[in-house]
């Protein structure tokens, strides 16, 4: 293992492209000068296709959780009834944020590792007619589940007047999402996942329908007042000091996505998902999620005959390969591999090959090359 060589395969933060790192090292500029206005003017139209929207995408200095809280405080008020679809740790976080803000929070808990079922949400909405907003997670990072957001949006529209607010933090730019077409009202993401940037930026796209609700929300807000960001962005500015180095990097990220093409970006993520899943099936190691519910950005593996944390320790100590562990009640029972953003099928082949060696080192018999071969076959077939 070379001391400066590391392999980061967690579901965020993710590796950063060298050209993006270079862009972030550009000299600092005045955040109210014309150069910043020009930068924001360049970024604005390139962000919209990533969200699948014609709305402006707001950029806020803060983590993905800042985006989640901004959605809550702008779209609902204390005492309002909301439904939070909880399919893992980050659905639970949405529920915690709502509860902290004295919102009447209904939880619909789904077994971790499974996706929400639109038919069940339809039944819930019919029996709770006063719900003002429904919160859901596009990709549940803690379990590797991709929720059927398009279908959830359809039943919410058909059976309620509720806003549909989606945490897309580990999904947007790695999974195809069409905010306008699917009628999502607020879509949030963060910089450190498939967006290929360090932590520190959150993004929010807001529908016209949601803006009407926000504008009639009497609840006071200062930093998280989305209307302030909207109004300033119209003038190619921000209401507060922007994270300029991250904006330099974001501009380059969007250039890279345009060069590759968004459909190719999504196809690459699906291919890496299929390679990873095929590898562990070949190694006879169980996966947490079904193929139908699997996320293209992160895969959760649930071994039944070895300690996943023991594997993670060997991977880190001997190969400087970092994979994620489980969260909450899944801690110690799963490990997760991130395959999003600046990650290629070649990186997945390397990751699987290292894991095969590490499995044998912890006493788990694994036929060397079997998982790698399965991933190679997916790669050769173009299986995305």
Q: How far is CA 271 from CA 22, 48, 201, 264, 364, in A?
A: 28, 24, 27, 10, 27
Residue 368 is encoded by which pair of tokens?
């060397």
Rounded Cα distance, 236 and 189, in Å? 20
Residue 82 is encoded by which pair of tokens?
């909301």
Whether cis (ω within 30° of 0) applies to the bond prior to 13 is yes
Rounded Cα distance, 149 and 166, in Å? 8
Q: CA neighbours within 13 Å on the CB side: how many for 324?
A: 21
Is residue 373 a known part of a binding site?
Answer: no
Residue 33: is it exposed, middle or buried by C-beta count within 10 angstroms (0-12/13-18/19+)? Answer: exposed
Rounded Cα distance, 316 and 300, in Å? 18
Rounded Cα distance, 33 and 15, in Å? 31
13: DSSP letter: S
Residue 73 is encoded by which pair of tokens?
């405080």
Q: Which residue has the tokens 């944020």?
A: 97
Residue 303 is encoded by which pair of tokens?
């071994």
Q: Which residues pair with 8 in a beta bridge?
A: 322
Distance of CA 307 to the CA centre of its chain: 27
Q: Between vectors from CA 42 to CA 36 and to CA 44, what angle results, nearest 5°?
A: 100
3 state DSSP class of 371: helix
Which residues sit in the known binding site? 336
- Binding residue positions for substrate: 336
């Amino acid at each position: 293992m070379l001391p400066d060589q590391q392999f980061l395969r967690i579901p965020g933060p993710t590796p950063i492209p060298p050209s993006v790192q270079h862009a972030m090292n550009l000299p600092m500029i005045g955040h109210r000068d014309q150069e910043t206005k020009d930068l924001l003017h360049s970024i604005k139209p390139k962000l919209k296709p990533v969200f699948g929207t014609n709305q402006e995408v707001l950029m806020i200095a803060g983590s993905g959780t800042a985006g989640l809280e901004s959605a809550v405080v702008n779209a609902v008020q204390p005492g309002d009834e909301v439904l939070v679809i909880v399919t893992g740790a980050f659905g639970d976080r949405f529920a915690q944020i709502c509860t902290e803000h004295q919102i009447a929070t209904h939880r619909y808990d789904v077994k971790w590792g499974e996706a929400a079922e639109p038919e069940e949400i339809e039944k819930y909405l019919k029996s709770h007619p006063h719900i003002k907003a429904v919160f859901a997670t596009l990709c549940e990072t803690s379990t590797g589940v991709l929720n059927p957001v398009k279908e959830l949006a359809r039943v919410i529209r058909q059976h309620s007047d509720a806003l549909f607010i989606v945490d897309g933090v580990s999904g947007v730019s790695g999974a195809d999402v069409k905010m306008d077409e699917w009628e999502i009202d607020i879509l949030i993401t963060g910089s450190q996942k498939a967006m290929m940037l360090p932590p520190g930026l959150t993004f929010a796209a807001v529908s016209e329908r949601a803006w009407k609700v926000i504008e009639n929300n009497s609840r006071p807000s200062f930093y998280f007042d989305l209307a302030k960001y909207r109004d300033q962005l119209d003038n190619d500015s921000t209401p507060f000091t922007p994270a300029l180095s991250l904006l330099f990097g974001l501009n380059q990220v969007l250039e890279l996505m345009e060069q590759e093409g968004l459909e190719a970006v999504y196809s690459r993520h699906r291919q890496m998902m299929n390679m990873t899943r095929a590898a562990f099936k070949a190694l006879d190691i169980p996966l947490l999620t079904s193929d139908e519910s699997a996320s293209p950005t992160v895969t959760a593996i649930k071994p039944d005959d070895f300690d996943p944390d023991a594997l993670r320790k060997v991977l880190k100590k001997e190969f400087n390969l970092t994979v994620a562990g489980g969260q909450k009640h899944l801690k110690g029972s799963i490990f997760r591999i991130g395959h999003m953003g600046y990650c290629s099928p070649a990186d997945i082949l390397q990751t699987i090959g290292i894991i095969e060696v590490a499995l044998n080192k912890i006493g788990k018999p694994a036929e060397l090359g079997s998982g790698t071969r399965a991933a190679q076959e997916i790669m050769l077939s173009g299986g995305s």
